[in-house]
Amino acid sequence: MGRLAIIGGGAAGLAAAVTAARELRMLGVPGDVAVYEADERVGRSILATGNGRCNFSNARIDAGAYRNAAFVGSALGALTAGSDPVHAFFADLGLVWREEGEGRLYPLANKATSVLDVLRAAAADFGVREACGRRAVRIDVPDRPGGRFHIRFADGTVGHADAVVLATGGRTARELLPEGIGFAAARPVLGPLRTATDVVRHLNNLRVRCAVTLAGPDGAPKAREAGELLFRDYGVSGIAVFNLSRFAEPGDRLLVDLLPQMPEGDCAGFLHARRRRLSADGRPLSREAFLRGMLLPAVARAVLEEAGLAPGAPFAKRDVPTLAAALKAFPLEVRGMGDERQCQVRRGGADVAAFDPRTLEARAVPGLHVVGEALDVDAPCGGYNLHWAWASGILAGRAAATRLMGSDDVAQGEGR
Ligand SMILES: Cc1cc2nc3c(=O)[nH]c(=O)nc-3n(C[C@H](O)[C@H](O)[C@H](O)COP(=O)(O)OP(=O)(O)OC[C@H]3O[C@@H](n4cnc5c(N)ncnc54)[C@H](O)[C@@H]3O)c2cc1C
């Protein structure tokens, strides 16, 4: 009986386990599929997603949005055509979902537990073994063709397998990968950004609807996002900022457009017309009063300060170009990532160049697959990261099952 060891019982590991065990069951091939999980239960990472609701996929997945987009495009293309195979996988498990804004998919019951429940139930039905509290510390690759992998655990035990799926997520240790596979130390991204605090500390917890451009030190735009921005005393947060954080470097600038619906060329005209209207009845019109009803007072004060306009002075015609510039590109200097505990993924991990995108199998180590966030793949918010975890897990699970079908019946069991 062939053995498949899946290291890590998160999103990608469970998708790989269910896929492999289901394929073996459907073909009537005996096989042992085990999930080794460091935590005392599988799937805890899934429960934390989407604020407990699990934005598990997106209706409009675009491979171009991923880091290492060509590799991801080949991998997603290798899943069967027709309806999205990740969605078909979950439909087969019984999950029902609904679509929210921007194609985000959530389970109908609105709870991440629904997603984990269908995965665990299928895993149990197909005979997957869950081995929790088992932290893998090293994987010894076969020393001869047809040989077995030896997986060493922190508790001193050793497991043996014909194929291994490494699904240990963004914190994957370099030591788990064989030498020769490129590896970039991972750093958290997809989270809040720390900025110069002179402005933001006066705006803590205020939200604005805006568009934000991330510009490099030379002023060249690197990325743009629209949505809600949340000011924090250390910087800025919100989905638009999370997405920009994937490209941000210290020294970059965020240029916040506080009038995102208005083309830049129309802004001065709008401000002139507003000035005429608000002063038509002879009321005094200070610069602060000019922005009243348009921006939150604290935001208005910050914009005026940025523009170098004293709030109490009368709003003059000559103020229009300066104010228009500050409203369309309110600048914040990026200092680095903000609260790393809020970051949703880690950038880095195993170099995709070492893997076949159709199977996620290491080119130099047949039978070893690396999936999910353990690979150097990440994407914006919106269900993209979990979609990758499921998709890569399914591909690796399929390929590993195929390998097990051809493996000899030389099971060794586990020992110290
Ligand atoms: C707060 C938060 C919210 C998120 N929300 C979303 C969302 O709504 N939508 C979305 O698409 N993405 C979301 N993400 C990202 C998403 O959760 C990850 O991209 C995804 O879980 C990665 O799947 P994975 O299987 O590669 O890793 P994980 O799901 O992290 O699973 C890795 C597993 O391996 C185990 N493990 C690690 N090392 C070892 C070891 N040595 N031995 C044995 N086991 C080990 C871990 O305990 C863990 O169970 C969110 C992330 C966070 C942090």
- How far, in Å, are 70, 97, 100, 271, 388 from residue 117 at the CA level? 33, 14, 22, 55, 20
CA distance 195 to 334: 4
Do 297 and 158 share a domain, yes or no?
no
Q: Give residue 336 CA to ligand 1 midpoint distance, Å.
A: 23
Within a domain: 34: yes
* Amino acid letter, 239: I
* pLDDT the model gives residue 88: 94
* pLDDT the model gives residue 204: 95
First to last CA, the chain: 21
* pLDDT the model gives residue 146: 85
Do 205 and 175 share a domain, yes or no?
no
Do 294 and 355 share a domain, yes or no?
no
> Domain span at residue 204?
193-337
Burial (CB count <10 Å: 0-12, 13-18, 19+), residue 284: exposed
Q: Give residue 112 CA to ligand 1 midpoint distance, Å.
A: 13
Of the residues 318, 337, 356, which one is the last residue of a structural domain? 337
Task: Output the domain CATH number for residue 88.
Answer: 3.50.50.60
Within a domain: 410: no
Of the residues 316, 337, 358, which one is the last residue of a structural domain? 337
Q: Name the CA radius of gyration of the chain, rounded.
A: 26
* pLDDT the model gives residue 408: 45
Query: Cβ(10) to ligand 1 under 6 A?
Result: yes
Do 141 and 211 share a domain, yes or no?
no
Do 55 and 197 share a domain, yes or no?
no
Do 219 and 261 share a domain, yes or no?
yes
Do 100 and 157 share a domain, yes or no?
yes
pTM for the model? 0.94
Per-residue pLDDT of the chain (416 residues; tens, 9 = 90+): 899 999 999 999 999 999 999 999 999 999 999 999 999 999 999 999 999 999 999 999 999 999 999 999 999 998 865 668 899 999 999 999 999 999 999 999 999 999 999 999 999 999 999 999 999 999 999 998 889 999 999 999 999 999 999 999 999 999 999 999 999 999 999 999 999 888 888 999 999 999 999 999 999 999 999 999 999 999 999 999 999 999 999 999 999 999 999 999 999 999 999 999 999 999 899 999 999 999 999 999 999 999 999 999 999 999 999 999 999 999 999 999 998 999 999 999 999 999 999 999 999 999 999 999 999 999 999 999 999 999 999 999 999 999 998 864 433 444 44
Q: Give residue 58 CA to ligand 1 midpoint distance, Å.
A: 17
Do 153 and 79 share a domain, yes or no?
yes
Q: Give residue 242 CA to ligand 1 midpoint distance, Å.
A: 17
Burial 352-371 (b: 16+ CB within 10 A, else e): bebbbbebbbbeebebbbbb
Query: Cβ(61) to ligand 1 under 6 A?
Result: no
Return the number of other C-beta atoms located less than 10 Å from residue 171's C-beta.
Answer: 13
Nearest CA to ligand 1 atom 20: 386
Do 208 and 177 share a domain, yes or no?
no
Q: How many domains does the chain have?
A: 2
Do 219 and 296 share a domain, yes or no?
yes
Query: Cβ(45) to ligand 1 under 6 A?
Result: yes
258 in Cβ contact with 330 (< 8 Å): yes
Of the residues 306, 337, 368, which one is the last residue of a structural domain? 337
* pLDDT the model gives residue 406: 81
Do 276 and 363 share a domain, yes or no?
no
Within a domain: 411: no
* pLDDT the model gives residue 407: 65
Q: Give residue 45 CA to ligand 1 midpoint distance, Å.
A: 5
Query: Cβ(379) to ligand 1 under 6 A?
Result: no
Within a domain: 286: yes
* pLDDT the model gives residue 199: 85
Within a domain: 414: no
18 in Cβ contact with 94 (< 8 Å): no
